[in-house]
Amino acid sequence: MTVIKLTIQYDGTNYIGWQRQPRGQGVSVQQAIEDVLEQLYGEHITLHGAGRTDSGVHAVGQCASFVPTKPLPVSRVAQAMNNLLPPDIRISSAVAEAEDFHARFSASGKHYRYIIEQQPSCNAFSYRYAWQLGEKLDVAAMREAAQYLLGSHDFRHFCAVGSPVKDFVRTIESLQLSEPDFSANDQLWRQMERPLVIDICGNGFLYKMVRFIVGRLVAVGRHEIKPQDMAAFLIGEVPKNISVAPALGLTLVEVRYGGEKIGD
Amino acid sequence: MTVIKLTIQYDGTNYIGWQRQPRGQGVSVQQAIEDVLEQLYGEHITLHGAGRTDSGVHAVGQCASFVPTKPLPVSRVAQAMNNLLPPDIRISSAVAEAEDFHARFSASGKHYRYIIEQQPSCNAFSYRYAWQLGEKLDVAAMREAAQYLLGSHDFRHFCAVGSPVKDFVRTIESLQLSEPDFSANDQLWRQMERPLVIDICGNGFLYKMVRFIVGRLVAVGRHEIKPQDMAAFLIGEVPKNISVAPALGLTLVEVRYGGEKIGD
């Protein structure tokens, strides 16, 4: 029996996150898609997401898998689902995978992207997708701080309370800060002019880990703490209480398969 | 006494258009901004918009003017307003103009842009800003049809019922169709890959005129009517009843001042 792997985009603004919640708390992305799968397959289908994004977090390349209970042609699943889904959730592709495939447990890594608006005059269209800081950060200092996070570390002090995880060791493979210049582009495309973009790739991420990292990097960028304070956070010496970055600036870009598997 | 000219961006999705409506019908952009002006100046301020965009229409360069009733420094007005406005309305600039300036009556022309998504797999982020046609149009035929609209014409058959206007003659200075290729760009920027973009500049536009034009050009692009049928529409010979294009694909890009003035 095959498993179907979906690649999914969503604007997280109007959802309470990926994971299905008890009724009455708002709609999750998982629930919205499972409701459509039920319409297509005639019975409840459980969808397994690779990354359980928080309320407000967006995705360009979320992956999820399910076991189809009817032999609908895989080539038509994406279009059939998109015809039923709300416009802010889109199935980019649906492919058949081997029966041992599982979107979450087969994943070997993820790429997240965080966007910050440094310009004081923010854009009326980007507010849904960027942390509207409206202040210029010391990006060089942030890059210096980022170095302390590369590689394998115990990230328990970058993990929010409430995670059932026991093993906090994760590997950050890359952590890059860039300021792409779109000012030459037609600003009519509602693009921010010079956003600060933080790209982070790792073999797995703890609960709110990327948002902890970004919040603390921003504190470095604001000169509230020093770059080397990032090492202190890792060992639990918290130089200053720093909030996590808001969810709306975060996008799950891609989930990687193949290679060594580590869940979450 | 000076007049203050504001340049304004807004995402029109959550508003019932520019123009203030009787209470209970939803919030207009004009009302949202006037409410903020009242907070700043301590009394009701009437705001005059250059273009009265419909419900759902966006703006990158709307202009509006008002007479300030207190001598607040103009250089601080934009920031003060942005601190109070919702995030989907932004004041790009506030400048002092001569006392005979009026955002609507001093305007000499406008530039509108309409965006169409031709790809079958639509983007989860662009649905608010583009007409999700999801089909490939014959853009060459549409360009041919556009030629019939250039120059000065009586556009009464491109004007929705309900306009108080008596003079329907307007001049379309340019009407261009392009398919910018963003596929080389990082698709992480939530950009459509190959949108069809219609740019139209004219000395003034009648009620829903751009949306009538786009709707009919799309009918040409779908081969429902021929390019030369555009001439028939102008003289009131309507070859086929074609709907106006939806509001969400339309953006007021810029209002032009200086040169010969014609209202609306």
Chain segment B106-132, per-residue pLDDT in tens: 999 999 999 998 987 668 888 888 898
Residue B158 lies in a domain: yes
- How close, in Å, is residue A51 to chain B by CA atoms? 17
Tell me, yes or no, whether B264 lies in a domain. Answer: no
Q: Do residues B48 and B146 both lie within one domain?
A: no
| Backbone dihedral region for residue B220 (phi beyond 0: left; psi -120 to 50: alpha; all else: beta) | alpha
Full domain range(s) for residue A63: 3-97
Say yes or no: A143 and A15 in one domain: no
The answer to whether A213 and A134 have CB atoms below 8 angstroms apart is no
Instruction: Give the CATH number of the domain where residue A121 resides.
Output: 3.30.70.660
State what percent of residues in chain A have pLDDT above 70.
92
Last residue of a domain, one of A62, A97, A132: A97
User: Do A122 and A251 reside in the same domain of the chain?
Assistant: yes
> For residue B89, which residues of chain A lie inside 8 Å, CB to CB?
124
Residues B8 and B139 in one domain: no
pLDDT of residue A263: 47
pLDDT, tens digit, 9 for 90 and up, residues A33-83: 999 999 999 999 999 999 889 999 999 999 999 999 998 899 999 999 999
pLDDT digits (tens, 9 = 90+) for B202-257: 999 999 999 999 999 999 999 999 999 999 999 998 878 899 999 999 999 999 99
In terms of DSSP H, where are the helices of A17-100?
29-41, 74-84
**A48: domain CATH number?**
3.30.70.580
Q: Is the pLDDT of residue B29 over 90?
A: yes
Asked if B140 and B202 sit in the same domain, the reply is yes
Residue A196 within any structural domain of the chain: yes
Determine the average pLDDT of the residues in A107-111.
96
Instruction: Say which residue, B24 or A9, is predicted with more confidence.
Output: A9
- Give residue-wise pLDDT tens across range A126-167: 888 889 888 999 999 999 999 999 999 999 999 998 888 899
Q: Is the pLDDT of residue A23 over 90?
A: no
Work out how many domains chain B is built from and give that number: 2
**A137 and A227 assigned to the same domain:** yes
Tell me the mean pLDDT in the region B10-19.
Answer: 95
Q: Say yes or no: B43 and B121 in one domain.
A: no
Q: Per residue in B153-175, is it b (16+ CB within 10 Å) or e — as a string?
A: bebebbbeeeeeeeeeebbbeeb
- The residues near A38 (Cβ < 8 Å, ≥ 6 apart) are A44, A45
Q: How far is B261 from chain A (nearest CA, A)?
A: 25
pLDDT in tens, A163-199: 888 999 999 999 999 988 765 445 445 666 678 999 9
Kindly state whether residues B197 and B250 are assigned to the same domain. yes
Q: Under an 8 Å CB criterion, which residues of A touch B?
A: 9-11, 58, 60, 78-79, 82, 87-90, 92, 113, 120-125, 127, 129, 132, 187-191, 251, 253
Q: Is residue A262 part of a domain?
A: no
Long-range pairs for A186-190 at CB < 8 Å and ≥24 separation? A187/B60, A188/B60, A188/B113, A188/B251, A188/B253, A189/B191, A190/A123, A190/A124, A190/A125, A190/A126, A190/B60, A190/B129
Whether residue A264 lies inside any domain: the answer is no
Boundary-marking domain end, from B74, B97, B120:
B97
Mean per-residue pLDDT for A83-88? 94
Q: Based on the fold, state whether residues A51 and A137 are members of the same structural domain.
A: no
pLDDT band, residue B260 (cuts 50/70/90): low
One domain, residues B211 and B240: yes
Chain A nearest C-alpha distance from B87 (Å): 6
In this structure, are B23 and B126 located in the same domain?
no
Task: Report yes or no on A64 lying in a domain.
Answer: yes
d(CA A60, CA A209): 19
Check residue A187 and give its pLDDT. Answer: 43
Last residue of a domain, one of B76, B97, B118: B97
A25 in the same domain as A122:
no
Overall average pLDDT of the A207-216 stretch = 97
**Which chain B residue's Cα is nearest to A89?**
B124
- Told to judge if A54 belongs to the known catalytic residues of this protein, a careful annotator would answer yes
- Tell me, yes or no, whether B102 lies in a domain: no
Inside any domain, residue B200 = yes
Contact A101, A258 (CB under 8 A): no
Out of B11, B54, B229, B264, which one is annotated catalytic? Answer: B54
SS (H, E, C) A116-131: EECCCCCCCCCCCCCE
The reported pLDDT for the residue numbered A144 is 97
pTM of the model: 0.86
Q: Is the separation of the CB atoms in B177 and B146 below 8 Å? A: yes
What is the pLDDT at residue B263? 47
Residues pairing with A89 in the sheet: A10
